Amino acid sequence: MSCTTKSGEVEKRLLFRRKWVGFVTAIWLMVFSASYAFSNYSQALKEVLGINQESLNRLSISRDLGDAWGGILAGFLSNYLPPEALLCFSALCAVSGFGVQWLVVSETIDPLPYWIMVLAAMLGGTVIAWMNTAVFNASVRNFKRNSGPVAGLLKALMGLSGAVFATICSTLFSSSGSMFLLMMVVLPPTFCILSAIFFRPVPSASTHEDQQIEHKSIAVFNVIACVLASYLAIVNFISDSLDSNSAYKAVILLVMVAIIASPGLVPAIIFMRMNKSKVSSGQEGDAHSNIVNGTEEGKGSIANGANIVAGIPDCCHDITILNKEALVDGNANKDGLDMPLLESKYTKSTRSNGKLGNGICCGHVQSLSLAWIAQGIGEETSTLSLFKKWHSFALFISLVCGCGCGVSFSNNLGQIGQSFGFDSVSILVSLFSLGNFVGRIASGNISEYFLRVAGLPRPVWLGLAKVPMITLFLWLSAGSQASLYVGSLVIGISHGCLITLCIPIVSEFYGLKHFGTNFVIIGLYFITGSYSFSSIAGWFYDQQVALADDSGTLTCYGSTCYGTTFFIFAACLVVGLAFDVLLSFASKEVYQNIKAERAELAE
């Protein structure tokens, strides 16, 4: 028995080490993912190729298309290939896609035909797709009960990636476009390979102790991420007013590298504490006794489950999702990766009341009129089945409206600032980036807290994030410079919230079995919203230029440039808000069950 116990302890320590070391490499990968970086080398690309702004925008859209279609391919392959294979694909695409662009921008080779550069941009766009699919697909499984905070943390760090690259490039290479591309050829593939070695799917926390360790560790990682964001913001705001000598640059870079490296200390501290804590033989005996008792109780639950199913009256067979096989499988795989995402509301009520019997009809007949609304939410759903469910379309439209307006505002921030009379928009870009980070990291943790405390559905937060966006876009339509300062920050926060909340919502609505492909399909909201709302903004901008331009320039000044666009954005956000309200009511029961399940584990 002692040999068995010792073997189990060794296996537990091995899984623990694999989980946290792998997660740290995933954090570093997100920091060096090179997302939101196109603007840092786009001007150099434009000059070398000799193209106009419209052609440059097509290269940017090509990269977004590569991200979208690469995500679809990565999502399907994630059902058959392990995460390390997807990360290797990401490294290969980074070397190929960014490598071609670097060769052209550095003038190592002559400029290539435009269509080849479009393909290179698309190939570079797939880097993020492979990376996201591998990391988030495994993370929602490794941290099943903390998927919201983990998604928020990783998405927030990805949002800081462009600022990290810009700081490194400006410190070492004076913001050279060709050197920026060279970093993108080297750094993302390096950390992809590192993550491929250490990052693996492992069982999620199965005990209260493990869950507490997850909470505390993720909180530490969040603090580190906030320190990194604050540091980058301070450096960005004061760098122009300080003497930029080599010593100053070296200090800036070394401090940033130290902050980025600090997550590696967290697993080391966890391992040290595990080594110091020694369990007495009496405690081991108690633990073994508890396991045996738990097994016997599980058997009793299965037997009771069979009796429950047999006792359901015929009038309720059409509205219940409970069956004996599902109950047995759910107990048998309780700590595994294949455990059903949620238990039905009838199972939960059974545990509370001890019986189901005829009472189920009396207890739930009043909700039959709304039963169809929640049908399919919280169940394992195949990708093809998404196209048959109204709530998947509602979620997609909500995200298109919210994220589409946010990313279009970001993409047009240069022209918006110019039309408002700003000579430089660097402060506006910094405010949006800072808000984006805050929204990403806060939304996961706040939504997770209220889910545990009150069972509040996450779609509620989708709606709450849209409310300030609606207010700000209406204010922006008046052309106030103050509104642009506030709007850059607040819209950035809301946009970051929407980007992050999508990940846990998809896993909680449609399960983990097909999460990779389901998330990719829903994730098409980004390119759909970006293309649709950017086209609207561009069309109205050009119309105002055509009406006001007498000198041959293509620049618009005044509130009329984007006034109509902002009204349209606000109206679309109201539509998205309506869908959020409907999704919140439809998923109320599902999130109450998640709350009860996590409360059980805490006990």
DSSP codes, 396-423: HHHHHHHHHHHHHHHHTHHHHHHHTT-S
Contacts of 314 (CB under 8 A, 6+ apart): none
Residue among 545, 472, 515, 570 at smallest CA distance from 71:
515
**How confident is the model at residue 281, as a pLDDT?**
42
Last residue of a domain, one of 274, 306, 325: 274
**How confident is the model at residue 552, as a pLDDT?**
56
Question: What's the domain count of the chain?
Answer: 3
pLDDT along the chain (603 residues), means of 10: 59 75 90 78 81 72 82 82 90 92 89 90 90 84 77 83 80 78 92 89 71 82 90 76 68 91 86 62 48 45 39 38 37 39 39 39 45 72 85 92 89 80 73 84 86 90 95 90 89 91 88 80 84 83 73 70 91 95 90 84 62
**How confident is the model at residue 355, as a pLDDT?**
37
- For residue 589, how far is the Cα from the chain centroid? 24
Same domain, 101 and 35: yes
User: Which uninterrupted H or E stretch holds 428?
Assistant: helix 426-454
**How confident is the model at residue 98, as a pLDDT?**
92
Same domain, 209 and 220: yes
Same domain, 351 and 398: no
Separation between Cα atoms, residue 181 and residue 177, nearest integer Å: 6
Residue among 441, 350, 541, 521 at smallest CA distance from 158:
441
In a domain, 263, yes or no: yes
Same domain, 434 and 545: yes
Same domain, 141 and 76: yes
List the CATH number of the domain containing 496: 1.20.1250.20
Question: Which pTM does this prediction carry?
Answer: 0.68
Same domain, 59 and 158: yes
Phi, psi of 315 (to 5 degrees): -65, -15
Query: How many Cα neighbours within 13 Å face the side chain of 585?
Result: 11
Separation between Cα atoms, residue 278 and residue 106, nearest integer Å: 58
Same domain, 372 and 390: no
Range of the domain at 321: 291-334+343-377
Same domain, 347 and 428: no
In a domain, 301, yes or no: yes
Whole-number Cα distances in Å, 372 to 27, 375, 389, 391, 497 = 40, 5, 10, 11, 29
Sign of dihedral through CA atoms 212, 217, 218, 219? positive
Residue among 2, 3, 134, 23 at smallest CA distance from 71:
134
